[in-house]
Structure 1
Amino acid sequence: MTSSSSMLNNNSISINVSDDEPDEFANKLRARARRKRKKIGLRGGKTGTGFSHIVVKKLLKWWPVVVFLLAAGLLVFEASRIGGKPGKKLNLETGHGKIHDKVVEKKVPTNLNRLDPVTHVVHGVREPCLKLLPAEELEHLDFPMDKVPADPIKRVIYITEANPASIDDGMPFEQHSVESRFNLFTGNQTLKQRDEGFKVKGADASIHCGFYSEKGGFRISSEDRSYMESCKAVVSTCAFGGGDDLYQPIGMSESSLKKVCFVAFWDEITLASQEADGHKVGDDRYIGKWRIILVKNLPFTDQRLNGKIPKMLAHRLFPNSRYSIWVDSKSQLRRDPLGVLEALLWRSNSVLAISEHGARSSVYDEAKAVVKKNKATPEEVAVQLAQYRQDGLPEDKRFNGKKALSEASIIVREHTPSTNLLMCLWFNEVVRFTSRDQLSFPYVLWRFKEFRNINMFPVCTRKDLVNSMGHIRKAKPLTS
């Protein structure tokens, strides 16, 4: 009893366990402990399967974020590849100084080599914007050599430093002048000479028209000059400062390919950038249909101004050519040159054809747009407009019922004394004021009252004449 009561008082139970005969209950306890340890191993990872289970659960919860990060990384990678391919750094040495690390940015043209016609609706009927002769007639088309247009001017005398008509002989001005854009190439035209240039007296007209001095620059090899003198009609373009790519003309007749010169003026920077892109000039100096004319010693630091020389002074570069078609470097000519001459000049009895401006008709409105688009400084535009207002240029100048404001990326003309003088007057305006030739063209038309027979064709005709790609590269300005 005594032992029994003491066991109850201590609230304890005594269990005897023998090593020889294990208790069944103890075995169950040990088995339960082993199962618990095994479950812990599954979670934590003696085998690693628990970690995988956690990762899968996290992925199921956060998969949108993971997909977004992967897509963003892929976009960044592709953008770096696209941005890196076209950009080529050129380290070029020119006669005017060194141009360092010229970064070239190229766009891929989307409408290259398109020949589909552009149409518009006339009196309810859809018609082509440019009505060319049928293909079989184009093949037999030739220059109307017997046709001589009536012209109030018989001869244009170009003022040079060796010409007695020049009062500027021996002037001490530099090729690249900081104070003025007039230089040894242009001659220093005074305001009085500018005013007199618009007043044709008698049959002769004297005018500054570039190439004032042998030291003025724009040097071309004797072989190239000989070729240019052989041209009776020419399609020309230019790219200076590593500018746009060269687009091959399309839609040409065999007759035009035989009778018309295709000339592209390049400087050494453009030549180097084109060769770096794999566009090599052949031993015959051609790339496709284009004869490449290399120009050295460009007279202006502003490449836009250098581009006005072949654009406006084709009659000086091609002295024996009777016709010329200018095409901006951003465009691809896609219509037959002889057909274009017939449609825009011969059929309408015109000596100059140029496209109307698509958006505006007022010089003063165009000036605001030029400043807004940062294509010229407000100061230089203000000087030009002040002069035009002082001279009395109307707000909305019209010529033969059509607006005189031109887009001017395509110029088709016959080289008559009147058109030659008009181009000289226009060139002197862009040298004196801004390089935006749209601002000065209506003024020149208004002041040169003797000029007649101009065809201001609509925008849709221009769109039918060329495929416009826009500018591929930004030209690098020269350094003095």
Structure 2
Amino acid sequence: MFHNNNSLSVSIPVSDDEPDELGRMRVRARRKRKKLTHRRFLRKLLVRYWMLLIIIPTACLLFFEASRIARKPSFNVNSDIQTRTPVDRSSPPLRKETHSNLNRLDPTTHVVAGVRERCLKLLPPEKLDQLDIPVEEESRLPVGKVLYMSESDLSIPGGNATLSQLRAEDTRFNLFTGNQTFEQRDRSFEVKETMMVHCGFYSENGGFKISDEDRSYMQECKVAVSTCAFGGGDDLYQPIGMSEASLKKVCYVAFWDEITQKAQELVERRIGEDGFIGKWRVVVVRDLPFADQRLNGKIPKMLSHRLFPQAKYSIWVDSKSQFRRDPLGVLEALIWRTDSILAISEHGARSSVYDESKAVVKKNKAKPEEVEVQLNQYRKDGLPEDKRFNGKKALCEASVIVRKHTPITNLLMCTWFNEVVRFTSRDQLSFPYVLWRLNAFKSINMFPVCTRKDLVNSMGHIRKAKPLQS
């Protein structure tokens, strides 16, 4: 190539976009390399620290739950608000209750023939204040007297054994219940003028011991509202909605064992020097006869006529509920007005004993083999599979029991108690059988579920009861 001054220079034009395009390519390459680097870094982190990624969020969640629970009292204590009487200043102060369902007095209603009505039709307040216990009329019932069987301690298998030994052997019939044979069981259902039955308390060595002071108090009761919490299971809810007349004429008695007493003392809920917490007279029972706390709970539930020998009427309320109505008004509405000797709530979900047995097994509330033994015996005895007897639903929800203490109701409760001792402690299974055997439906008021809901504020069980140690 020759160059001279006269030669022409030829320029080759280059596009103005070329440098920008190259730059963008370089940027994309850098980004790609950076992204790959990040991915490798994250992969290394996951491999090395994957446990921390699980533990840290879990720890945060647990911390949140713990702080939330700590803000709630572990034992629920209710006050006397919305009642007509001042708080008993001699009792220890009661902390504010957090249950949204507590102390509600609003009525429960349902629709009848297109009209909304109250489920429990109580008398107006001015008439409740004038209510009194009616004078007892001459009994027209088929049973005139019930005698309670007494037998030698030696007649019980291992009869001279200690209670702890009896518990260790898982013996259900013991020095408290007596040893009911099948022949005696059958005779207990043969209704006649004078009956002799097993009904607990047959031996002073049988347990369920109560102080002389508490026993004297209970012997003075003409009408008793009672509940119990054994094994530290539930809290004590103060009754509400009562009239001044009922406060003067009705005893409120809560049965605790020493486990419950200690559990309540840990949250500074102590029995006053007068024996009361609020309106409840708290009776601490010692030497419980059963290792199964559900069975121990059947004693005050079913044998109130033995605990309150002078009482004419009683109302049982499960510990998971707060009684919220005037007791004399409840007796008037469910017993006196209907000419009944016992009132108990119908079961809300089922009607048949045989259907209930399947539900009990499915929910692990009793062992399948225990339920099978009980139902086989009932089939053998001829218990029909009908869902209703004499036009009435037989299956009950026994969290509230309102009763007149008569020989026939005492007999019914004794035979019912013996059935839960002999078979399973699921009392819904044995109640229809006992009614059927005694032919007692005509004088039983099986009230609907909505009436039960009007009687109580239900809180549910707070914690599982602790079994007794053998």
Pairwise TM-score range, normalised by the shorter structure: 0.7 to 0.9
Note closer, same or farther for the CA distance 1:324–1:278 as it changes in structure 2 (3 Å cut). same
Paired residues for 1:114-193 under 5 Å:
114-161=104-151, 171-172=159-160, 175=163, 176-177=166-167, 178=169, 180-193=171-184
- What SS is found at the alignment partner of 2:205? coil
Residue of structure 2 aligned with 1:401, choices 391, 394, 414: 391
User: Partners in 2 of 1:138 and 1:338 — Cα distance?
Assistant: 7
Change (3 A) 1:85 1:243: farther
> What residue in structure 2 maps to residue 75 of structure 1?
61
Q: Note the alpha carbon deviations across 1:155-202, whole angstroms, 9 max, x for none.
A: 000001269xx976994565335253000000010011001100023x
Residue of structure 2 in register with 1:7 after alignment: none
Per-residue CA distance 1:46-99 (angstroms, 9 max, x = gap): xxxxxxxxxxxxxxxxxxxxxx9998765332212345677989xxxxxxxxxx
* CA drift at 1:479: 1.5
| Number of the residue aligned with 2:455 | 465
Per-residue CA distance 1:228-262 (angstroms, 9 max, x = gap): 00000000000000110000011010000000000
Larger Rg: 1
Deviates more, 1:169-178 or 1:324-333: 169-178
SS class of match (1:215): helix
Give 2:287's aligned amino acid.
N
What does 1:341-380 correspond to in 2, within 5 Å? Answer: 341-380=331-370
SS in 2 for 1:427: helix
Q: How does 1:303-452 map to 2 (within 5 A)?
A: 303-449=293-439, 452=442
Q: What SS does structure 2 have at the residue aligned with 1:211?
A: coil
Question: Contact 1:328–1:409 (CA<8 Å) still a contact in 2?
Answer: yes
Secondary structure of 2:248 counterpart? helix
Alpha-carbon contact 2:227-2:301 (below 8 Å) kept: yes
**Does 2:256 align with 1:266?**
yes
**Alignment counterpart, residue 252 of structure 1, candidates 242, 265, 284:** 242
AA aligned opposite 1:182:
F
> Does structure 2 conserve the Cα–Cα contact (< 8 Å) formed by 1:153 and 1:205?
yes
Question: Which of 253, 265, 279 is the equivalent residue of 1:275?
Answer: 265
Residue 47 of structure 2: aligned partner: none
CA distance, structure 2, for counterparts of residue 258 and residue 87 of structure 1: 33
Question: Distance between the aligned counterparts of 2:319 and 2:375, measured in 1?
Answer: 28
Equivalent residue, structure 1, for 2:200:
210
Equivalent residue number for residue 197 of structure 1: 188
Please give the alpha-carbon distance, in whole angstroms, between the structure 1 residues aligned to 2:114 and 2:74.
51
Say whether the 8 Å CA contact 1:247–1:332 is kept in structure 2: yes
2:187 aligned partner, one-letter code:
E
Tell me how far apart the structure 2 counterparts of residues 479 and 370 of structure 1 sit (CA, whole Å).
26
Find the aligned partners of 1:224 and 1:232 in 2 and give their Cα distance. Answer: 15
Structure-2 residue corresponding to 1:14 = none
Moved more, 238-247 or 451-460: 451-460
Aligned to 1:425, the other structure's residue is in SS state helix
CA distance in 2, matches of 1:211, 1:362: 32
Shift of 1:146: 4.0
| Cα 1:346/1:148, change in 2 over 3 Å | farther
2:285 maps to 1:295: yes
Q: Answer with 108-117 or 219-228: which moved more.
A: 108-117
SS of the equivalent of 1:127 reads: strand
Residues in 2 aligned to 1:399 and 1:325: alpha-carbon distance in whole angstroms: 25
- SS of match in other structure, 1:280: coil
Aligned residue for 2:372, secondary structure, equals: helix
Q: TM-score, normalised by structure 1?
A: 0.78
State the SS of the aligned residue for 2:286: coil
> Quick one: structure 1 residues 476 and 108, their matched pair in 2 at CA, closer, same or farther if it must change by over 3 Å?
farther
- Cα drift, residue 112 of structure 1: 0.7
CA distance in 2: counterparts of 1:376 and 1:206, whole angstroms: 30
Q: Equivalents in 2 of 1:193, 1:462: separation in Å?
A: 35
My pick for the range that moved more, 175-184 or 354-363, is 175-184
1:196 counterpart letter in structure 2: R
Task: Give the drift of 1:379.
Answer: 1.1
Q: Distance in 1 between matches of 2:460 and 2:306?
A: 28
The amino acid across from 1:136 in the alignment is E
Specify every segment of 5 or more residues in structure 1 that has no aligned partner in the other structure, as ranges: 1-67, 90-106
1:145 to partner: Cα distance: 1.3
Aligned residues: 396
- How far off its partner does 1:370 sit? 0.6
Identity of aligned residues (%): 69
Could you tell me how far 1:318 is from its partner in structure 2? 0.2
Contact 2:341 2:409 in 1 (8 A): yes
1:388-437 Cα deviation digits (max 9, x unpaired) = 11111111242441210000000000000000000000000000000100
Once residues 153 and 451 of structure 1 are traced to their aligned partners in structure 2, the CA distance between those partners, rounded to angstroms, is: 15
Give RMSD over aligned pairs: 2.7
Greater shift, 143-152 or 286-295, is seen at 143-152
Amino acid at match of 2:231: G
CA distance in 2, matches of 1:148, 1:458: 30
1:317 and 1:117 map into 2 onto residues whose CA distance is 32
CA distance in 1: counterparts of 2:229 and 2:104, whole angstroms: 22
Partner of 2:21: none
Match of 2:37 in 1: none
Rounded Cα–Cα distance in structure 2 between residues aligned with 1:467 and 1:451: 28
Residue identity in the other structure for 2:189? F
Q: Flag the 1:380–1:221 CA change in 2: closer, same or farther, 3 A.
A: same
* Alpha carbons 2:256, 2:285 under 8 Å: kept: yes
The AA in structure 2 aligned to 1:144 is P
2:67 partner letter = R
Contact 1:397–1:442 (CA<8 Å) still a contact in 2? Answer: no
